[in-house]
Amino acid sequence: MLSSLRYRLNRLFAHIWVPIGAYAVLALVAAFIAVALRGLIPEELAFQIGADAIDSLLNILASSMLAVTTFSLSIMLSAFAAASSTATPRAFQLLKTDRTAQQVLASFLGAFIFSLVGIISLKIGIYGEGGRVILFAATILVLVLIVFNLVRWIGHLTDFGRLSDTMDRVEVATTNAMKNRLAAPWLGANPMQGRSPPDRAIPLPSRAVGHMQFINLDRLNTLAQDAGCSIYLDVLPGEFVYQGTVLAHVLEGPIGPEFDTLLAEIHDSFDIGMDRSFDQDPRFGMITLSEIASRALSPAVNDPGTAIDVIRRMTRVMSLWDDRAVPDIDFPHLWVRGMSADEMLRDAFAAIARDGAALYEVQITLQRALLAMAQQSPGIFAYAARAQSQRAMSYAQGAMPIREELDHLQGVADQINGVAHSPQGDGVQAKT
Protein backbone atom coordinates (compact mmCIF):
# COMPACT_ATOMS: atom_id res chain seq x y z
CA MET A 1 0.00 0.00 0.00
CA LEU A 2 1.33 3.42 -0.98
CA SER A 3 1.29 6.22 1.56
CA SER A 4 0.03 9.58 0.41
CA LEU A 5 3.48 11.21 0.63
CA ARG A 6 5.15 8.39 -1.28
CA TYR A 7 2.44 8.50 -3.93
CA ARG A 8 2.86 12.27 -4.37
CA LEU A 9 6.62 11.97 -4.59
CA ASN A 10 6.37 9.16 -7.15
CA ARG A 11 4.06 11.25 -9.29
CA LEU A 12 6.34 14.29 -8.93
CA PHE A 13 9.55 12.48 -9.88
CA ALA A 14 7.80 10.88 -12.84
CA HIS A 15 7.96 14.28 -14.60
CA ILE A 16 11.10 14.74 -16.67
CA TRP A 17 11.48 18.38 -15.65
CA VAL A 18 12.31 17.38 -12.06
CA PRO A 19 15.73 15.78 -12.74
CA ILE A 20 16.41 18.36 -15.43
CA GLY A 21 15.72 21.15 -12.95
CA ALA A 22 17.89 19.44 -10.31
CA TYR A 23 20.85 19.15 -12.70
CA ALA A 24 20.37 22.75 -13.79
CA VAL A 25 20.47 23.94 -10.19
CA LEU A 26 23.61 21.89 -9.56
CA ALA A 27 25.20 23.43 -12.63
CA LEU A 28 24.48 26.92 -11.36
CA VAL A 29 25.74 26.07 -7.88
CA ALA A 30 28.97 24.58 -9.27
CA ALA A 31 29.62 27.65 -11.38
CA PHE A 32 29.12 30.10 -8.53
CA ILE A 33 31.09 28.05 -6.00
CA ALA A 34 34.12 28.95 -8.09
CA VAL A 35 33.44 32.60 -7.35
CA ALA A 36 33.04 32.01 -3.61
CA LEU A 37 36.22 29.94 -3.24
CA ARG A 38 38.53 31.80 -5.61
CA GLY A 39 40.55 33.31 -2.77
CA LEU A 40 41.60 29.86 -1.50
CA ILE A 41 43.64 28.97 -4.62
CA PRO A 42 47.43 29.59 -4.44
CA GLU A 43 48.66 32.24 -6.87
CA GLU A 44 51.36 30.00 -8.40
CA LEU A 45 48.66 27.51 -9.43
CA ALA A 46 46.20 30.15 -10.58
CA PHE A 47 48.57 31.64 -13.18
CA GLN A 48 49.04 28.26 -14.88
CA ILE A 49 45.47 28.14 -16.20
CA GLY A 50 44.45 30.87 -18.61
CA ALA A 51 40.95 32.11 -19.35
CA ASP A 52 41.29 31.19 -23.05
CA ALA A 53 41.77 27.48 -22.31
CA ILE A 54 38.67 27.29 -20.11
CA ASP A 55 36.66 29.40 -22.54
CA SER A 56 37.45 26.98 -25.40
CA LEU A 57 36.41 23.96 -23.34
CA LEU A 58 33.16 25.61 -22.27
CA ASN A 59 32.32 26.63 -25.85
CA ILE A 60 32.86 23.07 -27.08
CA LEU A 61 30.77 21.74 -24.22
CA ALA A 62 27.90 24.18 -24.84
CA SER A 63 27.66 23.53 -28.59
CA SER A 64 27.98 19.74 -28.32
CA MET A 65 25.51 19.38 -25.43
CA LEU A 66 22.85 21.32 -27.29
CA ALA A 67 23.21 19.04 -30.30
CA VAL A 68 23.30 15.86 -28.19
CA THR A 69 20.21 16.90 -26.22
CA THR A 70 18.23 17.63 -29.38
CA PHE A 71 19.30 14.31 -30.89
CA SER A 72 18.41 12.41 -27.71
CA LEU A 73 14.97 14.00 -27.58
CA SER A 74 14.28 12.92 -31.15
CA ILE A 75 15.33 9.36 -30.27
CA MET A 76 13.04 9.35 -27.25
CA LEU A 77 10.08 10.53 -29.30
CA SER A 78 10.77 7.83 -31.88
CA ALA A 79 10.91 5.22 -29.10
CA PHE A 80 7.59 6.46 -27.70
CA ALA A 81 5.98 6.22 -31.11
CA ALA A 82 7.42 2.75 -31.70
CA ALA A 83 6.16 1.48 -28.33
CA SER A 84 2.69 2.88 -28.98
CA SER A 85 2.49 1.32 -32.45
CA THR A 86 4.08 -2.08 -31.78
CA ALA A 87 2.85 -2.66 -28.22
CA THR A 88 0.11 -0.42 -26.82
CA PRO A 89 -0.31 3.30 -26.08
CA ARG A 90 -0.90 2.38 -22.42
CA ALA A 91 2.80 1.50 -22.13
CA PHE A 92 3.80 5.06 -23.04
CA GLN A 93 3.75 6.25 -19.44
CA LEU A 94 6.33 3.60 -18.46
CA LEU A 95 8.75 4.78 -21.14
CA LYS A 96 8.09 8.41 -20.34
CA THR A 97 9.15 7.84 -16.73
CA ASP A 98 12.28 5.86 -17.60
CA ARG A 99 14.86 6.96 -15.03
CA THR A 100 17.89 6.39 -17.24
CA ALA A 101 16.52 8.54 -20.05
CA GLN A 102 15.53 11.28 -17.62
CA GLN A 103 18.90 11.33 -15.87
CA VAL A 104 20.89 11.31 -19.11
CA LEU A 105 18.88 14.15 -20.62
CA ALA A 106 19.09 16.06 -17.37
CA SER A 107 22.88 15.69 -17.29
CA PHE A 108 23.16 16.93 -20.88
CA LEU A 109 21.02 19.99 -20.20
CA GLY A 110 22.78 20.57 -16.88
CA ALA A 111 26.16 20.56 -18.63
CA PHE A 112 24.80 22.98 -21.24
CA ILE A 113 23.61 25.41 -18.55
CA PHE A 114 26.88 25.04 -16.65
CA SER A 115 28.90 25.91 -19.74
CA LEU A 116 26.71 28.94 -20.52
CA VAL A 117 27.06 30.29 -16.99
CA GLY A 118 30.81 29.69 -17.10
CA ILE A 119 31.22 31.47 -20.46
CA ILE A 120 29.22 34.49 -19.34
CA SER A 121 31.06 34.68 -16.02
CA LEU A 122 34.45 34.51 -17.75
CA LYS A 123 33.50 37.28 -20.17
CA ILE A 124 32.52 39.66 -17.40
CA GLY A 125 35.61 38.70 -15.35
CA ILE A 126 34.04 37.76 -12.00
CA TYR A 127 36.19 34.67 -11.42
CA GLY A 128 39.71 35.99 -11.27
CA GLU A 129 42.76 33.70 -11.37
CA GLY A 130 41.68 31.49 -8.43
CA GLY A 131 38.14 31.14 -9.67
CA ARG A 132 39.38 29.97 -13.06
CA VAL A 133 41.18 27.03 -11.43
CA ILE A 134 38.03 25.90 -9.64
CA LEU A 135 35.99 26.39 -12.79
CA PHE A 136 38.52 24.33 -14.76
CA ALA A 137 38.32 21.47 -12.23
CA ALA A 138 34.51 21.59 -12.31
CA THR A 139 34.58 21.51 -16.12
CA ILE A 140 36.74 18.37 -16.09
CA LEU A 141 34.30 16.71 -13.70
CA VAL A 142 31.39 17.65 -15.95
CA LEU A 143 33.20 16.20 -18.97
CA VAL A 144 33.77 12.91 -17.12
CA LEU A 145 30.07 12.82 -16.19
CA ILE A 146 29.06 13.48 -19.79
CA VAL A 147 31.31 10.72 -21.17
CA PHE A 148 29.92 8.27 -18.63
CA ASN A 149 26.32 9.19 -19.48
CA LEU A 150 26.98 9.01 -23.22
CA VAL A 151 28.27 5.45 -22.89
CA ARG A 152 25.33 4.62 -20.63
CA TRP A 153 22.89 6.20 -23.08
CA ILE A 154 24.29 4.31 -26.07
CA GLY A 155 23.90 1.02 -24.23
CA HIS A 156 20.38 1.93 -23.14
CA LEU A 157 19.28 2.84 -26.67
CA THR A 158 19.96 -0.66 -27.98
CA ASP A 159 16.71 -1.84 -26.31
CA PHE A 160 14.81 1.34 -25.47
CA GLY A 161 11.34 1.32 -27.07
CA ARG A 162 11.62 -2.16 -28.57
CA LEU A 163 8.72 -4.56 -28.11
CA SER A 164 10.60 -6.87 -25.75
CA ASP A 165 11.75 -3.91 -23.65
CA THR A 166 8.19 -2.56 -23.47
CA MET A 167 6.82 -5.93 -22.39
CA ASP A 168 9.53 -6.20 -19.73
CA ARG A 169 8.56 -2.80 -18.35
CA VAL A 170 4.86 -3.66 -18.24
CA GLU A 171 5.57 -7.00 -16.58
CA VAL A 172 7.79 -5.38 -13.94
CA ALA A 173 5.17 -2.69 -13.23
CA THR A 174 2.44 -5.32 -12.98
CA THR A 175 4.57 -7.54 -10.75
CA ASN A 176 5.30 -4.65 -8.39
CA ALA A 177 1.62 -3.71 -8.24
CA MET A 178 0.67 -7.33 -7.55
CA LYS A 179 3.28 -7.69 -4.81
CA ASN A 180 2.14 -4.47 -3.17
CA ARG A 181 -1.48 -5.55 -3.33
CA LEU A 182 -0.75 -9.03 -1.98
CA ALA A 183 1.23 -7.47 0.88
CA ALA A 184 -1.94 -5.52 1.81
CA PRO A 185 -4.80 -7.52 0.26
CA TRP A 186 -7.52 -5.18 1.46
CA LEU A 187 -5.20 -2.16 1.41
CA GLY A 188 -4.93 -2.44 5.19
CA ALA A 189 -8.67 -2.11 5.80
CA ASN A 190 -11.29 -4.61 6.97
CA PRO A 191 -12.37 -7.14 4.32
CA MET A 192 -15.93 -6.86 3.07
CA GLN A 193 -15.90 -10.33 1.40
CA GLY A 194 -19.28 -10.23 -0.25
CA ARG A 195 -21.06 -8.23 2.43
CA SER A 196 -22.87 -5.01 1.54
CA PRO A 197 -22.77 -1.74 3.47
CA PRO A 198 -25.56 -1.40 6.05
CA ASP A 199 -28.81 -0.02 4.66
CA ARG A 200 -28.66 3.01 6.94
CA ALA A 201 -25.19 4.02 5.65
CA ILE A 202 -25.12 7.27 3.65
CA PRO A 203 -23.77 6.97 0.07
CA LEU A 204 -21.09 9.39 -1.16
CA PRO A 205 -21.44 10.05 -4.92
CA SER A 206 -18.56 11.04 -7.15
CA ARG A 207 -18.42 14.59 -8.50
CA ALA A 208 -15.82 13.78 -11.18
CA VAL A 209 -15.41 11.46 -14.16
CA GLY A 210 -12.34 9.31 -14.64
CA HIS A 211 -10.31 6.45 -13.21
CA MET A 212 -9.68 6.06 -9.51
CA GLN A 213 -5.93 6.72 -9.36
CA PHE A 214 -5.28 6.77 -5.62
CA ILE A 215 -7.21 6.42 -2.37
CA ASN A 216 -5.71 8.11 0.69
CA LEU A 217 -6.67 5.42 3.18
CA ASP A 218 -4.65 6.92 6.00
CA ARG A 219 -6.58 10.19 5.77
CA LEU A 220 -9.90 8.37 5.43
CA ASN A 221 -9.23 6.32 8.56
CA THR A 222 -8.27 9.46 10.51
CA LEU A 223 -11.46 11.22 9.38
CA ALA A 224 -13.57 8.22 10.35
CA GLN A 225 -11.86 7.90 13.72
CA ASP A 226 -12.31 11.58 14.55
CA ALA A 227 -15.95 11.55 13.42
CA GLY A 228 -16.79 8.24 15.11
CA CYS A 229 -18.00 6.58 11.90
CA SER A 230 -17.16 3.70 9.57
CA ILE A 231 -16.46 4.05 5.85
CA TYR A 232 -17.29 1.29 3.35
CA LEU A 233 -15.41 1.82 0.09
CA ASP A 234 -17.36 0.94 -3.04
CA VAL A 235 -14.50 1.44 -5.52
CA LEU A 236 -10.92 0.24 -5.88
CA PRO A 237 -7.93 1.89 -7.58
CA GLY A 238 -8.25 1.65 -11.35
CA GLU A 239 -12.02 1.53 -11.56
CA PHE A 240 -13.83 4.01 -13.78
CA VAL A 241 -16.25 6.34 -12.02
CA TYR A 242 -18.60 9.03 -13.24
CA GLN A 243 -20.81 11.64 -11.68
CA GLY A 244 -23.17 9.83 -9.36
CA THR A 245 -21.05 6.70 -8.91
CA VAL A 246 -21.02 5.79 -5.23
CA LEU A 247 -17.46 6.05 -3.95
CA ALA A 248 -18.19 5.02 -0.38
CA HIS A 249 -20.88 4.57 2.24
CA VAL A 250 -20.57 6.38 5.57
CA LEU A 251 -22.11 4.79 8.65
CA GLU A 252 -22.83 6.92 11.73
CA GLY A 253 -20.92 10.18 12.23
CA PRO A 254 -21.93 13.73 13.17
CA ILE A 255 -25.32 15.27 12.43
CA GLY A 256 -26.09 18.41 10.44
CA PRO A 257 -23.59 20.66 8.66
CA GLU A 258 -20.65 18.81 10.22
CA PHE A 259 -21.68 15.66 8.36
CA ASP A 260 -21.69 17.54 5.04
CA THR A 261 -18.19 18.80 5.82
CA LEU A 262 -17.11 15.24 6.59
CA LEU A 263 -18.48 13.99 3.26
CA ALA A 264 -16.57 16.73 1.41
CA GLU A 265 -13.31 15.79 3.18
CA ILE A 266 -13.87 12.12 2.40
CA HIS A 267 -14.43 12.95 -1.26
CA ASP A 268 -11.15 14.89 -1.36
CA SER A 269 -9.32 11.71 -0.27
CA PHE A 270 -10.03 10.13 -3.68
CA ASP A 271 -7.78 11.07 -6.60
CA ILE A 272 -9.68 10.77 -9.88
CA GLY A 273 -8.09 11.33 -13.30
CA MET A 274 -8.42 10.20 -16.88
CA ASP A 275 -5.09 8.34 -16.89
CA ARG A 276 -5.08 4.94 -15.24
CA SER A 277 -2.08 4.24 -13.02
CA PHE A 278 -0.09 1.07 -12.34
CA ASP A 279 0.60 2.02 -8.72
CA GLN A 280 -2.25 0.33 -6.81
CA ASP A 281 -3.83 -1.41 -9.78
CA PRO A 282 -2.46 -4.81 -10.92
CA ARG A 283 -5.51 -5.26 -13.16
CA PHE A 284 -4.31 -2.36 -15.32
CA GLY A 285 -1.03 -4.18 -15.90
CA MET A 286 -2.92 -7.28 -16.99
CA ILE A 287 -5.06 -5.24 -19.38
CA THR A 288 -1.96 -3.60 -20.84
CA LEU A 289 -0.25 -6.94 -21.43
CA SER A 290 -3.47 -8.26 -22.96
CA GLU A 291 -3.56 -5.31 -25.37
CA ILE A 292 -0.03 -6.13 -26.51
CA ALA A 293 -1.12 -9.70 -27.25
CA SER A 294 -4.27 -8.55 -29.07
CA ARG A 295 -2.26 -6.24 -31.30
CA ALA A 296 0.14 -9.09 -32.09
CA LEU A 297 -2.81 -11.30 -33.03
CA SER A 298 -4.33 -8.76 -35.40
CA PRO A 299 -4.28 -9.72 -39.12
CA ALA A 300 -1.98 -6.80 -39.87
CA VAL A 301 0.71 -8.07 -37.47
CA ASN A 302 0.03 -11.83 -37.28
CA ASP A 303 2.57 -12.55 -34.53
CA PRO A 304 1.23 -15.38 -32.34
CA GLY A 305 4.67 -15.80 -30.74
CA THR A 306 4.30 -12.47 -28.97
CA ALA A 307 0.85 -13.47 -27.71
CA ILE A 308 2.28 -16.72 -26.35
CA ASP A 309 5.07 -14.76 -24.63
CA VAL A 310 2.47 -12.46 -23.06
CA ILE A 311 0.44 -15.41 -21.74
CA ARG A 312 3.54 -16.83 -20.06
CA ARG A 313 4.40 -13.47 -18.55
CA MET A 314 0.87 -13.19 -17.16
CA THR A 315 1.18 -16.68 -15.69
CA ARG A 316 4.43 -15.65 -14.01
CA VAL A 317 2.75 -12.62 -12.45
CA MET A 318 -0.33 -14.59 -11.38
CA SER A 319 1.86 -17.23 -9.72
CA LEU A 320 2.70 -14.66 -7.03
CA TRP A 321 -0.87 -15.09 -5.79
CA ASP A 322 -0.39 -18.57 -4.37
CA ASP A 323 -2.25 -18.52 -1.08
CA ARG A 324 -5.42 -17.17 0.44
CA ALA A 325 -4.74 -13.84 2.06
CA VAL A 326 -5.04 -13.07 5.75
CA PRO A 327 -6.32 -9.61 6.73
CA ASP A 328 -3.69 -7.24 8.07
CA ILE A 329 -5.77 -4.40 9.42
CA ASP A 330 -4.07 -1.02 9.71
CA PHE A 331 -7.24 1.04 9.19
CA PRO A 332 -9.93 -0.40 11.50
CA HIS A 333 -12.55 2.18 10.52
CA LEU A 334 -12.45 1.30 6.81
CA TRP A 335 -13.98 -1.60 4.88
CA VAL A 336 -12.74 -2.63 1.42
CA ARG A 337 -13.55 -5.47 -0.97
CA GLY A 338 -10.63 -7.54 -2.22
CA MET A 339 -9.30 -8.51 -5.62
CA SER A 340 -11.34 -11.05 -7.52
CA ALA A 341 -9.58 -13.93 -9.25
CA ASP A 342 -12.36 -14.01 -11.84
CA GLU A 343 -11.82 -10.32 -12.69
CA MET A 344 -8.05 -10.74 -12.89
CA LEU A 345 -8.24 -13.71 -15.26
CA ARG A 346 -10.91 -12.03 -17.37
CA ASP A 347 -8.77 -8.92 -17.76
CA ALA A 348 -5.77 -11.07 -18.65
CA PHE A 349 -7.14 -13.71 -21.02
CA ALA A 350 -10.59 -12.76 -22.35
CA ALA A 351 -9.34 -10.66 -25.27
CA ILE A 352 -6.60 -13.16 -26.14
CA ALA A 353 -9.11 -16.01 -26.24
CA ARG A 354 -11.27 -14.00 -28.64
CA ASP A 355 -8.53 -12.67 -30.93
CA GLY A 356 -6.61 -15.96 -31.04
CA ALA A 357 -9.66 -18.20 -31.38
CA ALA A 358 -8.49 -19.83 -34.60
CA LEU A 359 -4.84 -20.30 -33.58
CA TYR A 360 -4.18 -23.65 -31.95
CA GLU A 361 -0.77 -22.68 -30.58
CA VAL A 362 -2.26 -19.67 -28.78
CA GLN A 363 -5.28 -21.57 -27.47
CA ILE A 364 -3.25 -24.49 -26.12
CA THR A 365 -0.86 -22.09 -24.38
CA LEU A 366 -3.83 -20.30 -22.85
CA GLN A 367 -5.46 -23.53 -21.63
CA ARG A 368 -2.19 -24.78 -20.15
CA ALA A 369 -1.64 -21.46 -18.38
CA LEU A 370 -5.12 -21.69 -16.85
CA LEU A 371 -4.45 -25.30 -15.83
CA ALA A 372 -1.15 -24.31 -14.22
CA MET A 373 -2.82 -21.60 -12.14
CA ALA A 374 -5.70 -23.88 -11.16
CA GLN A 375 -3.31 -26.63 -10.06
CA GLN A 376 -0.94 -24.27 -8.25
CA SER A 377 -3.62 -22.43 -6.27
CA PRO A 378 -6.92 -24.29 -6.66
CA GLY A 379 -8.59 -22.45 -3.81
CA ILE A 380 -7.95 -19.14 -5.58
CA PHE A 381 -7.96 -19.79 -9.32
CA ALA A 382 -9.84 -23.06 -9.95
CA TYR A 383 -13.31 -21.54 -10.38
CA ALA A 384 -12.10 -18.51 -12.35
CA ALA A 385 -9.79 -20.64 -14.53
CA ARG A 386 -12.67 -22.96 -15.39
CA ALA A 387 -14.85 -20.01 -16.44
CA GLN A 388 -12.13 -18.60 -18.72
CA SER A 389 -11.31 -22.06 -20.07
CA GLN A 390 -14.92 -22.65 -21.08
CA ARG A 391 -15.08 -19.20 -22.65
CA ALA A 392 -11.92 -19.85 -24.68
CA MET A 393 -13.30 -23.23 -25.80
CA SER A 394 -16.48 -21.53 -27.03
CA TYR A 395 -14.38 -19.23 -29.22
CA ALA A 396 -12.19 -22.08 -30.45
CA GLN A 397 -15.12 -24.32 -31.36
CA GLY A 398 -16.48 -21.62 -33.61
CA ALA A 399 -13.15 -20.90 -35.33
CA MET A 400 -11.02 -24.06 -35.49
CA PRO A 401 -11.78 -26.46 -38.35
CA ILE A 402 -9.58 -29.38 -37.22
CA ARG A 403 -11.30 -31.80 -34.86
CA GLU A 404 -8.07 -33.23 -33.41
CA GLU A 405 -6.93 -29.81 -32.24
CA LEU A 406 -10.28 -29.14 -30.59
CA ASP A 407 -10.16 -32.51 -28.86
CA HIS A 408 -6.70 -31.74 -27.49
CA LEU A 409 -7.88 -28.38 -26.18
CA GLN A 410 -10.95 -30.01 -24.66
CA GLY A 411 -8.74 -32.51 -22.86
CA VAL A 412 -6.86 -29.71 -21.08
CA ALA A 413 -10.13 -27.89 -20.37
CA ASP A 414 -11.51 -31.07 -18.77
CA GLN A 415 -8.49 -31.18 -16.46
CA ILE A 416 -9.22 -27.59 -15.38
CA ASN A 417 -12.84 -28.53 -14.77
CA GLY A 418 -11.71 -31.48 -12.68
CA VAL A 419 -9.54 -29.27 -10.48
CA ALA A 420 -12.46 -26.85 -10.00
CA HIS A 421 -14.68 -29.68 -8.76
CA SER A 422 -12.04 -31.15 -6.50
CA PRO A 423 -12.09 -30.53 -2.73
CA GLN A 424 -9.19 -28.09 -3.14
CA GLY A 425 -11.01 -26.02 -5.75
CA ASP A 426 -14.43 -26.37 -4.08
CA GLY A 427 -16.01 -24.38 -6.95
CA VAL A 428 -16.08 -21.15 -4.96
CA GLN A 429 -14.91 -17.89 -6.47
CA ALA A 430 -11.91 -16.69 -4.48
CA LYS A 431 -11.05 -13.18 -3.46
CA THR A 432 -7.98 -12.00 -1.62
pLDDT digits over 363-382, tens only? 999 999 999 999 999 989 99
In this predicted model, what pLDDT tens digit does every residue of 164-202 receive, in sequence order?
Answer: 999 999 999 999 999 988 888 888 899 887 667 888 899
Q: Which of 134-148, 367-381, 417-431 has the lowest mean pLDDT?
A: 417-431
Asked if the model's pLDDT at residue 232 lies above 90, the reply is yes
Structure confidence at residue 4 (pLDDT): 61
Across 82-96, 99-113, 234-248, 415-429, which has the greatest mean pLDDT? 234-248
pLDDT of residue 89: 87
Pick the more confident residue, 123 or 6.
123
Mean pLDDT over 410-431 rounds to 76
What pLDDT sits at residue 21? 75
- Is 131 or 371 the better-scoring residue by pLDDT? 371
Nearest to 293 by CA among 345, 239, 353: 353
Would you say residue 427 has pLDDT above 50? Answer: no
**Inter-residue contact 247 to 209 (CB < 8 Å):** no
Helix residue ranges per DSSP H, 297-427: 304-318, 341-355, 360-376, 378-397, 403-420
Residue 248 CA to residue 224 CA, distance in Å, equals 12
List pLDDT tens digits, range 58-101: 888 888 888 888 888 888 888 888 888 888 888 888 888 888 88
**Which range among 42-51, 221-230, 255-264 has the greatest average pLDDT?**
221-230
Crossing angle between the packed helical segments 4-13 and 17-36, to the nearest 10 degrees: 80
Question: Which pLDDT belongs to residue 360?
Answer: 96
Please state which of the ranges 105-119, 307-321, 364-378 shows the lowest mean pLDDT. 105-119
Quick one: which of 8, 38, 57, 274 has its CA closest to 133?
Answer: 38
